[in-house]
Amino acid sequence: MLTLSPLPALADNYIWMLADEMRGTALVVDPGEAAPVLDVLEARNLRLTAVLLTHHHPDHIGGVAGLLARFPGTVVYAPVDERIPNAHTRVGDGDRIAIESPAAQFDVIAVPGHTRTHVAYYGEGVLFCGDTLFSLGCGRLFEGTPAQMLASLDRLAALPADTRICCGHEYTLANAAFAQRIEPRNEALRLRREQARMLREAGTPTLPSLLADERAANPFLRVDVMDAPPELPQQAWRAGRVARFAALRSAKDGFRA
């Protein structure tokens, strides 16, 4: 039986931890800093065995060296990218990684868009997607094209509906404001926004979310099904799904709630 926990880090990052409390082992995903992980490992009497990295940004890898210093036996998995030091096993699309303890297997999915070498890890009913898919949003396009990011999101959206979505940041409320501007009559979205407000007021993470709920309310997964939003260029909406996605992404880049 594995337990899944989001550990808040830096300004609004989550470091995801998957732990086997019986065997006293844990893995973490995208440790942007070491201290929050070390604190939880100590409090729960856990030993770190593996680190999964999704992409090279410092707020996702900054804690790796500090974790290795404390737990030198930890195996670090990362995509092929010279900007990520301290990795033992390089992974790419289609790879399957098996971790002995906590016992877990993950399929590696290449998801270029936010960065060119970004990967996601899917297994145990959980998706670790870094800065590709967010709750009610998606990552910015720093190194990829809209077509690449849309193809990446298509692959994630095709996973089982009950997949728990573990994103790299707590962005749900800010994303919800934009999403509601785009789809003001989406009832599933209205409910998600209310629920997120209550969770944040109580200091609780809004994650993980469920893939089924993202399909119903995340505008970036809905370019094929939503009505043309009045505030986006209607020409783009008629020009096909990549143009729709590009128009949505650039509208979000300029959006202030």
**Residue 169: CB minimum distance to Zn ion, A:** 8
- Min dist. Cβ of residue 114 to Zn ion (A): 6
In angstroms, the CA 224 to CA 157 distance is 12
Which of 171/178 has CB closer to Zn ion?
Answer: 171
Shortest Å, Cβ 58 to Zn ion? 9
Which listed residue (59, 95, 107, 227) is catalytic?
59
Active site residue 60: yes
If the CB atoms of residues 131 and 213 are measured against Zn ion, the closer one turns out to be: 131
Catalytic residue list contains 57: yes
Least CB distance to Zn ion at residue 116 (A): 12
Q: What are the angstrom distances between the C-alpha of 242 and each of 102, 146, 148, 254?
A: 40, 6, 9, 19
Q: Is 55 a catalytic residue?
A: yes
Per CB under 5 A, residues contacting Zn ion are 57, 131
> What string of DSSP letters covers 55-115?
---HHHHTTHHHHHHH-TT-EEEEES-TT--S-SEEE-TT-EEEETTTTEEEEEEE--SSS
Prior bond of 229 cis (ω within 30°):
no
Closest CA to 77 of 68, 69, 86, 65: 86
Query: What DSSP state is assigned to residue 191?
Result: H
Q: Which is nearer to Zn ion, 33 or 131 (CB)?
A: 131
Residue number, 7 or 46, with CB nearest to Zn ion: 7
Catalytic option among 55, 56, 118, 213: 55
Give me the active site residues, please: 55, 57, 59-60, 114, 131, 169
